[in-house]
Amino acid sequence: MTKKQDWEIERENQLKKKRELRKKGLQALTLEQIQAVHETYEALNSALLSIRDLNDIMLSDVKALDEACCNLHHEFNLRSDDD
């Protein structure tokens, strides 16, 4: 096996740190927050697929995006004082 170069070692260390940070961050989320993020991802993915395939967006996708946005606002306290 060949010896790894410095840049390869540094990249592996950076990737390991990022994985650890993601794991720590995910553990800090509540179940409701994880569900809100997942539902948002699914809504965005579905809408983007519709736009790519149909060059249009369906009302069901708009509804899912709206609900996902509301869930994110609720779970992560993104509302301003005026809302």
Q: Across all residues in the chain, what is the average pLDDT?
A: 92
The pLDDT, as a whole number, for residue 33 is 95
Burial of 65 (0-12, 13-18, 19+ CB in 10 A): middle
Classify residue 2 by its DSSP letter: P
> Distance (Å, rounded) from C-alpha 47 to C-alpha 40?
11
The pLDDT, as a whole number, for residue 46 is 94
The pLDDT, as a whole number, for residue 83 is 52
Quote the tokens at residue 57. 């967006």
Say whether pLDDT at 22 is over 90.
yes
